[in-house]
Amino acid sequence: MARTGESYTTARRHVAGAAPVPLSAAGYRLSGGREPVSAALAHVLAHHGVRCAGDEVSEELIFGVAGGPGAGYILWEFAHDDSRPVVLAFSADWQYADRATLAALDRLGVAASVHRTGGAVGAARALAAAVDAGRPALVWPDRRRAGYRHLPDALDGMGGHVVVAYGRSGDGYLVDDRSLAPLTVPAPVLDAARARVGSYRNLLVDPQPTGDLAPEALRSALVAGLSHGAAQLGGTSASFALPAWRKWARLVTEGKAAKGWPRVFADGRGLAGALASVWEGVSPAGTTGGHLRDLTADCLDAAGPLLGVPTAAAADAWRAAGAGWTAVGDAALPADVPGFGRLRELTATVEQSVLGDGDAGRDAAVVAAAGLWELRARLDAEPPLTPADRDALFAGLGSRLHAVHAAEQVAVRELAAVLERAG
């Protein structure tokens, strides 16, 4: 996964071969996944038996229905732990916790109950009612509070992505975070994690589909979702559209700007963590699926027959953009710099333990996470790069960012052409 840039599920298949996916004790199928929103929705719809022309609706198509690819770049500077992490986003509407999820359900015509409450008792009751009735529920726990990635205290309240609570195990909930094995979170822990982030405190979405999808309904939902995402990407925002990549490419070498990397990282402190967060954001070894350009391409491949128009050129353009993002990740965290290769390995090990092994991987995840965050702190305090090394790294990173921005402009144009032909 860390080496090839593939999702964990795909990389694992190369080693272990394809295997049938068994039902969990709760009757819910754990089948991995690539991106949180699309995987969660695909799995919940499959659990409810929703089909289109006899087939389950794939994660690839759901990704398009939810808006498809997006863009986002933010460099944070935190005083509480002297860190400077980079937040990257690659899916539509990423800046809103539930917007892509609710939009996808609406486009598909799937009814859902949405619960928002500040009260802990009401939130716990709503989750228990859905799960005990056999309806997997979509929830948004804070990652550090949820516990299974063993994040440091400094990341408390920094947010999280959607997961599925689909059953019970003792006094805990069974959680699907694109995992292939049971993953249990104690009920009080999950309740506290859901309540941690004020902007979406205790949010719960309880999909309640009533039947199959007609092909025309899925086609309409797919066109609407991809059109929304393409319009968003093609906008002028330097935070939430393609100009975000151009802005980043400029800032990574601009010393005078307040957020210019040569200025922010003039003393080298915090740089290793920032570079690691870039690699994690781009790579499927990270927590949210990486750059997702390969998923976009697969979505277009799957959409071709449904849309009735050629999609190969657009899919190829998005795969080219994905290759560019892999190069960005490699330039940000070169494996031959002392400690950087180990950061990659430990990040992938944590994710492998969560996604592949679930509860059985907890001990391995604890050890790997402890090593990861200790190494990040040490490299942040004692940078392994000389000033000349930093300048060279910034120059290489900027060049690759300019190239990926150009590649994404082509990809968005190709996507727009597909949508125009599809009407």
Among candidate residues 245, 243, 423, the one with its CA nearest the CA of residue 324: 245
Token representation of residue 127: 């989750």
Q: How many residues does the chain have?
A: 423
H or E stretch at 184: strand 184-186
Give CB contacts under 8 A, 24+ apart, made by 76-79.
77/264, 78/154
Q: What pLDDT shows up at residue 11?
A: 74
Placement of tokens 């609710």 in the chain: 102
Q: What pLDDT shows up at residue 80?
A: 84
Token representation of residue 334: 């070169």
Q: What pLDDT shows up at residue 221?
A: 98
Amino acid letter for position 239: S
CA pair distance 349, 420, nearest whole angstrom: 43
Among candidate residues 356, 16, 325, the one with its CA nearest the CA of residue 365: 356
CA pair distance 281, 126, nearest whole angstrom: 33
What SS3 state is found at 304?
A: helix
The answer to whether the CB of 91 falls within 8 A of the CB of 292 is yes
Torsion of CA 197, 201, 207, 208, to 10 degrees: 170
Q: Nearest 5 degrees, angle CA 379-CA 383-CA 386?
A: 155
The answer to whether the CB of 21 falls within 8 A of the CB of 31 is yes
Among candidate residues 61, 13, 33, 7, the one with its CA nearest the CA of residue 301: 61
Q: What is the pLDDT along the chain (423 residues), one digit of tens a residue?
A: 666 666 666 777 667 665 555 566 568 999 999 999 999 999 999 999 999 999 999 999 999 999 999 999 999 999 888 889 999 999 999 999 999 999 999 999 999 999 999 899 999 999 999 999 999 999 999 999 999 999 999 999 999 999 999 999 999 999 999 999 999 999 999 999 999 999 999 999 999 999 999 999 999 999 999 999 999 999 999 999 999 999 999 999 999 999 999 999 999 999 999 999 999 999 999 999 999 999 999 999 999 999 999 999 999 999 999 999 999 999 999 999 999 999 999 999 999 999 999 999 999 999 999 999 999 999 999 999 999 999 999 999 999 999 999 999 999 999 999 999 998
Q: What pLDDT shows up at residue 85?
A: 93
Q: Specify the pTM.
A: 0.95
The answer to whether the CB of 123 falls within 8 A of the CB of 206 is no
Neighbours of 278 (CB within 10 A): 25
